[in-house]
Amino acid sequence: MKLDRVELRRLRMPLVSPFRTSFGIETVRDVLLVHVVTAEAEGWGECVADAAPAYSSEYVDGAVDVLRRFLVPALAEQDHLNATSVAPALARFRGHRMAKAALETAVLDAELRMRGVPLSRELGAVRDRVPCGVSVGIMDSVDELLDAVGRYLDEGYLRIKLKIEPGWDVEPVVAVRKRFGAELPLQVDANAAYTLADASQLAKLDAFDLLLIEQPLAENDVLGHARLAALMRTPICLDESITSARAAADAITLGACRIVNIKPGRVGGYLEARRIHDVCAAHGIPVWCGGMLETGLGRAANLALAALPGFTLPGDTSASDRYYHADITEPFVLHDGHLEVPAGPGIGIEPAQDALDAVTTSSEWCAP
pLDDT tens for 258-306 read 999 999 999 999 999 999 999 999 999 999 999 999 999 999 999 999 9
Encode the chain in three state secondary structure: CCEEEEEEEEEEEEEEEEEEECCEEEEEEEEEEEEEEECCCEEEEEECCCCCCCCCCCCHHHHHHHHHHHHHHHHHCCCCCCHHHHHHHHCCCCCCHHHHHHHHHHHHHHHHHHHCCEHHHHHCCCCCEEEEEEEECCCCCHHHHHHHHHHHHHHCCCEEEEECECCECHHHHHHHHHHHCCCCCEEEECCCCCCHHHHHHHHHHHHHCCCCEECCCCCCCHHHHHHHHHHCCCCEEECCCCCCHHHHHHHHHHCCCCEEEECHHHHCCHHHHHHHHHHHHHCCCCEEECCCCCCHHHHHHHHHHHCCCCECCCECCCCHHHCCCCCCCCCCCCECCEEECCCCCECCCCCCHHHHHHHEEEEEEECC
- Backbone φ and ψ for 176, nearest 5 degrees, come out as -65, -40
Give me the domains of the chain, ranges plus CATH numbers: 3-116+350-366 (3.30.390.10), 121-340 (3.20.20.120)
Give tens-digit pLDDT for 71-122.
999 999 888 999 999 999 999 999 999 999 999 999 999 999 999 999 999 9
Q: Which residues have a catalytic role annotated?
A: 163, 263
Query: Mind listing the pLDDT tens digit of every residue in the chain (368 residues)?
Result: 999 999 999 999 999 998 889 888 899 999 999 999 999 999 999 999 999 999 999 999 999 999 999 999 999 988 899 999 999 999 999 999 999 999 999 999 999 999 999 999 999 999 999 999 999 999 999 999 999 999 999 999 999 999 999 999 999 999 999 999 999 999 999 999 999 999 999 999 999 999 999 999 999 999 999 999 999 999 999 999 999 999 999 999 999 999 999 999 999 999 999 999 999 999 999 999 999 999 999 999 999 999 999 999 999 999 999 999 999 999 999 999 999 999 999 999 999 999 999 999 999 998 66
- Asked if 167 contacts 194 with a C-beta cutoff of 8 angstroms, the reply is no
Distance CA 276, CA 270 (A): 10
